Amino acid sequence: MTPEQTRRVVDLALDLAREGRTGELAEFVEHGLPVDVGDPSGNTLLMLAAYHGHADTVRALIRLGADPDLRNARDQTPLAGALFKGADDVVGVLRQAGADLDSGTPTARAAAALFGRAHLLAD
């Protein structure tokens, strides 16, 4: 594929993650798209799915090998993004996957405290 064609495929996959279109997105990854591919700002498929509250998509991406602690260019993690957006079910999926509570800026712990969701991180 040409660089332009590759960019189009990546852009389509990023849109699928934003929209929570789990089955189609999983097919892209199963056919060779790197699961941790991201946009120019470092937002991965997992980051976008988490930020937009798609727990099933997050679960599928993790099952396909996505790194739950991969930070974007602003040093944000998917877990902090889910806390910011109030996606409590996504927070649970990321916690089950072992997401680091102290990674990124702000950390998940700081984001949870800031947005009144510290109870979601309690053991």
Compute CA distances 41 → 47, 72, 77, whole Å.
11, 6, 13
Exposure on the CB side of residue 98, measured as CA atoms within 13 A: 5
- Fold exhibited by the domain 3-121: 1.25.40
Residue 52 pLDDT class (50, 70, 90 cuts): very high
Percent of the chain at pLDDT > 70 equals 100
Q: Does residue 123 carry a pLDDT above 90?
A: no
Compute CA distances 83 → 29, 113, 120, 123, whole Å.
26, 10, 9, 16
Residue whose C-alpha is closest to residue 58's, from 16, 115, 110: 16
> Chain-wide mean pLDDT for the chain?
96
Averaged over 30-43, what is the pLDDT?
Answer: 96
Q: Does residue 37 carry a pLDDT above 90?
A: yes
Residue whose C-alpha is closest to residue 114's, from 68, 90, 92, 83: 83
Over residues 60-115, the pLDDT tens digits come to 999 999 999 999 999 999 999 999 999 999 999 999 999 999 999 999 999 999 99
- Give the H or E element holding residue 46: helix 45-51
Give the span between the Cα atoms of 11 and 123, in whole angstroms.
37
pLDDT for res 60: 98
5, β-bridge pairs? none
